[in-house]
Amino acid sequence: MTNKTTIFSLFLSLLALVFPFLIFDEIVTTPFQIIMAILILIAIFAINFYSALRGDRAINVFAAIVTLIALFLFTIPLWRYIF
């Protein structure tokens, strides 16, 4: 069962890298869409963390780092509204 959660975690991390492209291509524009995308990225990070507790820690920590990088890249265009 731990291999299934690891594979699922890696697949979700791969999908997490799609979200920054959505905001840079201006597909995600409304505040509701931005909030939903951030919540999805946080949920993917939570699944990565859960998978790290259950299975191979090295691979899942890498997947969690990839998800955090995607979350950071997703928020870069939002900084112009804050600063």
Provide the residue range defining the domain that includes 73: 2-82
Exposed (0-12), middle (13-18) or buried (19+): which is 77, by Cβ within 10 Å?
middle
Q: Are 64 and 49 in contact (CB under 8 A)?
A: yes
Domain count, the chain: 1
As given in the structure block, the two tokens for residue 80 are 């112009």
- For residue range 11-52, what is the model confidence (pLDDT) as tens digits? 988 888 888 887 777 777 777 888 888 899 999 999 999 888
- pLDDT band at 3, cuts 50/70/90? confident
pLDDT for residue 1:
54
- Determine the pLDDT at residue 46: 92
Q: Are 2 and 56 contacting, i.e. CB atoms less than 8 angstroms apart? A: yes
